[in-house]
Structure 1
Amino acid sequence: MGTQRWNGSPGALSINDFPTVPQEGASPPSLENLSCASQTVGQAKEPEPISYVTLQEQRCVLSWFQGWSASQRERFLQDLLGKAVPGKVCTLLDSLSTLQVKDHLPNIFECQLRLWTQWFMSWGEEERNNFLHILEERDPAFVSHFYSCVAGTAGRD
């Protein structure tokens, strides 16, 4: 058989060369049915996947975390606590105590905290929870202490 072409010349494809479309009320499959992770009835919805960019940001922060000193981790803890329970006076006071007027350029750690804050603010709730989960895998004692601090803010203004 010769090569088929999309023009009207001999050997071109005709409408009869294509399969017919079922007409009996058949509708195209939904996107959910086309998904590789389709759900069966009654199953809980899987969480949204984390974007590649967010995952890289989280890996970066976790890498920094591994290299931070105990005092830097404590400052990060206070920052994380302020993000977890915003508006609590006790966390605001702790945050204010870390503010200083400086005549010099910020150090690497301060730049890392600024990036961390920018990234954290752009993450959704699921992405934030994922970060905490990964951090817990890396340093369970730190995250346990964080949860204790969060619990300690209960009832405090």
Structure 2
Amino acid sequence: CRCGGSLPVSYVTLQEYRCVMSWFLGWTSPQRERFLQDLLGKAVPGKVCTLLDSLNTLQVRDRPPNIFECQLRLWTQWFESWSEEERNHFLLVLEEHDPAFVARFYQSVAGTAGRE
């Protein structure tokens, strides 16, 4: 899998993409919205208010994390291990499955421009 002539995405990364996409397709609208906020926080660190969300996920709870929370944790670990090219390629894969979601993401990123 090559993206614009860049280095091929590794087999492991492709498997991670597939996992995230299968989760994404099964998520409810509120879960996709939470994922969008998480993605924005990764794309525009410091510009999007995700600190509160991060603190909420770190709270000690009486119940174990739900599957969605576990999926987000894995997604974060994988995303942090990907190169910038792999991250950009993931957005292309996501766009193939849900162009409207990715369009909202780009609009939100553009909306943070110039904010301090």
- Shorter-chain TM-score above 0.5: yes
For the pair shown, the structure with the greater C-alpha radius of gyration is: 1
Q: Deviations over 1:27-49 (max 9, x none)?
A: xxxxxxxxxxxxxxxxxx82100
2:52 equivalent to 1:96: yes
| Higher share of residues assigned helix | 2
Distance 1:71 1:120, change over 3 A: same
Indicate the residue corresponding to 2:31 in structure 1.
Answer: 72
Indicate the residue corresponding to 2:64 in structure 1.
Answer: 105
Whole-Å separation in 1 of the counterparts to 2:106 and 2:77? 23
Structure 1's unaligned 5+ residue stretches are: 1-44
Q: Is the 8 A contact 1:85 1:150 kept in 2?
A: yes
Identical-residue share of aligned pairs (%): 69
Runs of 4+ in 1 over 6 A off after TM superposition: none
1:84 equivalent among 43, 57, 62: 43
**TM-score (norm: length of structure 1):** 0.66
Indicate the residue corresponding to 2:96 in structure 1.
Answer: 137
**TM-score (norm: length of structure 2):** 0.89
2:6 equivalent to 1:50: no
Indicate the residue corresponding to 1:8 in structure 2.
Answer: none
- Give the aligned length: 110
Structure 2's unaligned 5+ residue stretches are: none
| Higher relative contact order (CA closer than 8 Å, sequence separation 6+) | 2
Q: Deviations over 1:88-139 (max 9, x none)?
A: 1xx1x34414615322110000000000000000000111111000100100
2:82 equivalent to 1:126: no
